[in-house]
Structure 1
């Protein structure tokens, strides 16, 4: 009681993406632990000084196999990928996706420009940016939700700690071109009444 379920829903989403080989009824935990332990042991063995050079060369293929495609590393360095469009991008341990890929991961709170106040929007496209043939960054194309007229009542104003704001369910026609650093947090969206949506800031801070 009196506790948000968003962190638990996020955890459930993470667990649902784990490859379990269709093991159910008690085998799930064992599959996760064994897979994690085997991967960790293999990585440790590949880093040993006495690891054969021929096997060490295969570490490049191993890293490509176990790093999610179109993701960024823990050091926030961009992984070189082919093509422009991305199905998702990982930043600070969080996955962001275009609405066509995953609608839940597409709703965000962001700053259109550094001087503007945060707004709610939906990611339309995520693209790699190439400079001299090298992947130099990621850009997101976002359409913001139309703000309600001041004459319309927002029932969530009375609950500031909820960090919920009512918007129109309509997206603007124009797109904002932003970077991953401009994103403040994921957002939860619910259409509740006559073309109006409540947007909840899911910031972990």
Structure 2
């Protein structure tokens, strides 16, 4: 009760898709739990005040490496971002990532069309859920942004009447 289960359901879905090659006597489970435990320990260590600055810089690099264009990995391409520094966050799909030597990394994003005013967003009643409905279609025009403009990854689910819901997956 009173616990958001989406991360666990997402993990269960990922686990169900793993090819086990009929190794069911605990080998796979032990490998998975070791991996999850190591990741949690690394995250905890990176948040400690005595973590060396050089290692913290590596964390920034790893955080920036988690995005991919929709052609490579659609699951990592759906994001919440700010089209302008003072703008409100919107949902979109990464189409291209460019490494521009002089200005760093640029990301081309196609934003989702806004939900028409005639359609009700059922998630607007639950602001703590961090979910918002959009149209399922992407705009023709794209935004060029930097990695700093990305707020978070988003889980995307298409549901009824040409609607898509995006859930902000920001962890902090």
Deviations 1:162-183 (A, max 9, x none): 1111110010111111111111
Bigger RCO of structures 1 and 2 (CA < 8 A, at least 6 apart): 2
Aligned residues: 151
Deviation at residue 13 of structure 1 after TM alignment: 8.7
TM-score (norm 1): 0.60
1:12–1:75 Cα change, 3 Å:
same
What SS class does the counterpart of residue 120 from structure 1 fall into? strand
CA RMSD of aligned residues (A): 3.4
Indicate which of 84, 87, 101 corresponds to 1:130: 101
C-alpha separation in 2, matches of 1:196 and 1:32: 36
Deviations 1:91-120 (A, max 9, x none): 26x711111111111111000110211000
Indicate which of 143, 147, 161 corresponds to 1:176: 143
Structure 2: 5+ residue runs without aligned partners?
A: 39-56
Deviation at residue 204 of structure 1 after TM alignment: 1.1
Which residue in 1 is equivalent to 2:69? 98
C-alpha separation in 1, matches of 2:109 and 2:82: 10
Indicate which of 78, 82, 88 corresponds to 1:111: 82
1:119–1:25 Cα change, 3 Å:
same
Which residue in 2 is equivalent to 1:158? 125
Is structure 2 residue 126 aligned with structure 1 residue 142? no
C-alpha separation in 1, matches of 2:155 and 2:141: 22
1:15–1:130 Cα change, 3 Å:
farther
What SS class does the counterpart of residue 97 from structure 1 fall into? coil
Structure with the greater alpha carbon radius of gyration: 1
